[in-house]
């Protein structure tokens, strides 16, 4: 298999990153390999595309409980789920032919979805007569993502694998969530700090609200700023308002570094002693690949809540109890070797820096 199409939906940032990470690994695995990444929302009219992608961002940042209502309500057989299924099927019947044409013209020998939009219907229509695979990007799965029509599906936890078993779906592999190849060969903490111009002797804490810059990042930053022995790295993602507020407040503070979107996240993970972050599946997988202790803040109800429950229940992370006391909770972890050792043991169970390679090995050997 020399050509694969990786399909995602630009709802948040994790689905796109997972597709691009798979493409990166695939292209580097063979000089003759070709691949494409396609945002399936690109085929929708501009107004509808904006409603889906920007609508999710607005809800996740400002009224996350609405997303929770949708997630939980559609994850079981209900009137709400039935209505959504009907709308989804209607949209797919209109726009899937264009997606199929794009994939067909690319010469792809297989299709890999990292988002549920159109995925199961694309596979069941089977117009292109090629295998279709599904890669989950969270540690627990939703009803929309589980389907027996895929040639294989890939999960990130035993709990997710059990969901498939309960549904009677086979050919599912617990591989982890695909991260960039950079995480398979991490640099040392000393080297990372040198490259980023950081103090080698101070405890370093990374704060991030994920790609969309959600959560109580301001409260966490204010708390950590009170600790002179901690240097804090704050990544605001594509939340420009958050970046402007924090940049203005902490301009000239040598212990606080404020950034928007960065393209060298592996260096920041490697340079840090702990991360305070939102529990998005892809960003969690990156941090876990770097073996970084985690404090998880204010999950969006639904997939983020479930991600946090899985990791905290396995002692691979802790929940941030109070954002305005983030410095105290951070020091409780960093100052206790027994707690750190226990967390590292939990992290080891979920650290999958070569998940993409494992996924692609199964896909390329598919008959």
Using one digit for the tens of pLDDT, what is the confidence trace for 243-271? Answer: 999 999 999 898 999 998 888 999 999 99
Position 53 confidence tier, pLDDT thresholds 50, 70, 90: low
pLDDT digit string (tens) for 267-324? 999 999 999 999 999 999 999 999 999 999 989 899 999 999 999 999 999 999 999 9
Structural contact between residues 297 and 274, judged by C-beta atoms closer than 8 angstroms: no
Position 1 confidence tier, pLDDT thresholds 50, 70, 90: confident
Cα(293)–Cα(295) distance, rounded to whole angstroms?
A: 7
Phi, psi at 331, each rounded to 5°: -70, -30
**In this structure, are strands 203-208 and 132-135 parallel, antiparallel, or unpaired?**
unpaired
Single out the residue of 140, 156, 180, 135 nearest to residue 286, CA to CA: 180
Mean pLDDT for all residues in the chain: 92
pLDDT digit string (tens) for 190-220? 999 999 999 999 999 999 986 665 678 999 9
Would you state the pLDDT for residue 253? 92
Domains and CATH numbers, the chain: 3-179+353-364 (3.40.50.2000), 186-348 (3.40.50.2000)
Cα(354)–Cα(367) distance, rounded to whole angstroms?
A: 23
Would you state the pLDDT for residue 88? 84
Could you tell me the pTM of the whole model? 0.93
Structural contact between residues 221 and 207, judged by C-beta atoms closer than 8 angstroms: yes
pLDDT digit string (tens) for 118-175? 999 999 999 999 999 999 999 999 999 999 999 999 999 999 999 999 999 999 999 9
Position 29 confidence tier, pLDDT thresholds 50, 70, 90: very high
Lowest mean pLDDT among 55-59, 303-307, 315-319, 354-358: 55-59
Dihedral angle of Cα 117, 121, 127, 131, to the nearest 10 degrees: 80
Structural contact between residues 18 and 359, judged by C-beta atoms closer than 8 angstroms: no
């Amino acid at each position: 298999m020399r050509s694969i199409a990786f399909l995602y939906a630009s709802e948040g940032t994790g689905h796109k990153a997972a597709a691009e990470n798979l493409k990166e690994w695939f292209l580097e695995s063979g000089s003759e390999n070709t691949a494409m990444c396609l945002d399936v929302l690109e085929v929708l009219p501009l107004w509808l595309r904006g409603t889906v992608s920007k609508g999710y961002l607005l809800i996740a940042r400002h009224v996350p409980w609405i997303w929770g209502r949708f997630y939980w309500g559609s994850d079981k057989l209900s009137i709400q789920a039935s209505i959504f299924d009907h709308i989804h099927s209607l949209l797919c019947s209109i726009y899937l032919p264009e997606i199929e044409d794009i994939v067909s013209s690319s010469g792809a020998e297989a299709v890999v979805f990292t988002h549920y939009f159109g995925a199961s219907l694309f596979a069941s229509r089977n117009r292109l007569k090629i295998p279709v695979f599904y890669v989950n990007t969270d540690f627990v799965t939703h009803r929309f993502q589980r389907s027996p029509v895929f040639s294989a599906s890939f999960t990130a936890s035993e709990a997710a694998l059990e969901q498939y078993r309960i549904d009677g779906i086979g050919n599912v592999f617990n591989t982890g969530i695909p991260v960039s190849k950079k995480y398979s060969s991490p640099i040392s903490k000393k080297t990372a700090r040198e490259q980023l111009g950081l103090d080698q002797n101070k405890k370093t804490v990374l704060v991030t609200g994920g790609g969309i810059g959600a959560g109580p990042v301001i409260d966490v930053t204010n708390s950590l700023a009170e600790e002179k022995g901690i240097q804090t790295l704050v990544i605001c993602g594509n939340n420009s308002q958050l970046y402007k507020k924090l940049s203005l407040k902490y301009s000239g503070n040598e212990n606080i570094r404020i950034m928007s979107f960065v393209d060298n996240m592996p260096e920041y993970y490697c340079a840090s002693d702990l991360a305070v972050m939102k529990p998005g599946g892809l960003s969690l997988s990156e941090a876990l690949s770097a073996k970084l202790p985690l404090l998880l803040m204010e999950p969006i109800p639904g997939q983020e809540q479930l991600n946090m429950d899985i990791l905290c229940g396995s002692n691979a992370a802790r929940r941030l109890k109070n954002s305005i006391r983030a410095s105290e909770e951070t020091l409780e972890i960093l100052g206790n070797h027994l707690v750190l050792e226990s967390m590292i043991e939990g992290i080891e169970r979920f650290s999958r820096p070569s998940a993409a390679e494992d996924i692609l090995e199964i896909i390329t050997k598919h008959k």
